[in-house]
Amino acid sequence: MKKSLKDYNFKNKRVLVRVDFNVPLDGDKVTDTNRIKAALPTINYLIDENAKVILMSHLGRPGGEIKDEFKMDPVAKELANLLNKKVIKVDDCIGEEVKKAVNRMQNGDVLLLENTRFYPNEKKNDSEFSKKLAENADIFVLDAFGAAHRAHASTVGVTDYLPSAAGFLLMRELNALGDVMNNPEHPFVAIMGGAKISDKISVIENLLEIVDYILTGGGIANTFLKAKGYEVGKSLVEDDKIDTALKLIKLAENKGVNLLLPEDVIIADQFSKDAQSREVKVSEIPTDWEILDSGGTLTLKRYTKIIKDAKTVIWNGPIGVFEFDQFAKGTNKIAHALAETDAKTIIGGGESAAAVKKANLLDKMTHVSTGGGASLRFFEGKPLPAVEALDDLK
């Protein structure tokens, strides 16, 4: 058990909070504020506790260089609107400018540091850089579940120099995911979609120990189908993972887990939103067409029935190219089936969360994770480095 916010007195303290403000931007506008909103309970709590709140985050992939398009200024503006309060923004995350800004802070003030990934030392978890991040604070709070699987300076390194605690968002994620992995109600169903089976081999292997069903879709299902001998045409497939797919099918059989593949799919003559498309059985895919949606009529009928009868469902990865409306049917149907079931429903962040949001069903799910990579690692049964680094509750 890790220390949480309730284990500290924050009055007059300079509190360094690692948040996940890696939000999508359109120029200088934030197009999705969900990650910022998710951090508000922790930020508001610290404000109410009369702390000096110093926020740090990465944004995008600047590659260790200062790039204007990845500066945190649009985030500061959006955060100020959401807090209905001034947010001080500085143009660095270490150094004199930060030190001066912190020294001027009053209790309850909020300061946002510049993108930590403007420094290559961040991803290297460099100890000197970690020390510089920590030197203007008294306590460190980790509230960035989306970055908790990364052993970076701002997530792990700073804990060598400051007492630390888990924020409310992080605790909520750990409790929700921990509960479903450690004490699930059965039938327990896992829906595995997305592009690559290679990203989820360890996840599937771990889930085979605890689930009753694995429903496959997307590129993952294509690789399984080819492994079973089906012609999949020009579909996205990982040919070097065919043997792995066969091993997973065999392992599922040995464990008594129903690993289900699509029976029918939506195929297209090209990878395009305007492509010609039609529904076919998986035994009827032409060599010059490709699967863009695993959600054929028979498949969805079978999958939605299993979801309806489930007690616990986790979903990671769309089952089609849901960015194209004509190939979003399967993913949308899965989202609505989850919204209508009485089961506990856990959405594993990333594209699954985006699909649920696009369908306006976020509030119908038991828990929607803010971290795709972190939730995947959790489903693998592996520790999250940033959580491991936090102070234990004695």
295 is catalytic: no
pLDDT at residue 380 above 90? yes
Among candidate residues 67, 85, 131, 196, the one labeled active-site is 196
Average pLDDT of the chain to the nearest whole number: 96
**The pLDDT value given to residue 331:** 95
Q: What CATH number does the domain located at 184-379 have?
A: 3.40.50.1260
Q: Is 50 left (phi over 0), alpha (psi -120 to 50) or beta?
A: left
CA 67/CA 117 separation, integer angstroms: 10
From-to residues of CATH 3.40.50.1260 in the chain: 5-172, 184-379
Confidence of residue 102 (pLDDT cuts 50, 70, 90): very high
**The pLDDT value given to residue 162:** 98
pLDDT at residue 350 above 90? no
pLDDT at residue 349 above 80? no
pLDDT at residue 354 above 80? yes
CATH architecture of 5-172: 3-Layer(aba) Sandwich (3.40)
- Answer for the pair 383, 374: CB distance below 8 angstroms, yes or no: no
- Answer for the pair 307, 346: CB distance below 8 angstroms, yes or no: no
Among candidate residues 296, 350, 371, 372, the one labeled active-site is 350
- Answer for the pair 211, 180: CB distance below 8 angstroms, yes or no: no
350 is catalytic: yes
Among candidate residues 60, 108, 233, 373, the one labeled active-site is 373
Report residue 271: phi and psi, to 5°. -85, 90
CA 166/CA 113 separation, integer angstroms: 20
196 is catalytic: yes
**The pLDDT value given to residue 7:** 97
Q: How far is CA 325 from CA 32, 48, 234, 272, 328, in A?
A: 20, 45, 20, 11, 5
pTM: 0.91
- Answer for the pair 74, 204: CB distance below 8 angstroms, yes or no: no
**The pLDDT value given to residue 192:** 96
**The pLDDT value given to residue 224:** 96
371 is catalytic: no
Confidence of residue 69 (pLDDT cuts 50, 70, 90): very high
Q: Over the stretch 5-35, which tens digit does the pLDDT of each residue have?
A: 999 999 999 999 999 999 999 989 999 898 9
**The pLDDT value given to residue 199:** 85
**The pLDDT value given to residue 236:** 94
CA 71/CA 48 separation, integer angstroms: 28
pLDDT at residue 195 above 90? no
- Answer for the pair 233, 270: CB distance below 8 angstroms, yes or no: no
Least Cα distance to 335 among 199, 351, 326, 142 occurs for 351
Among candidate residues 3, 35, 52, 71, the one labeled active-site is 35
**The pLDDT value given to residue 365:** 96
Q: Over the stretch 290-343, which tens digit does the pLDDT of each residue have?
A: 999 999 999 999 999 999 999 999 999 999 999 999 999 999 999 999 999 999
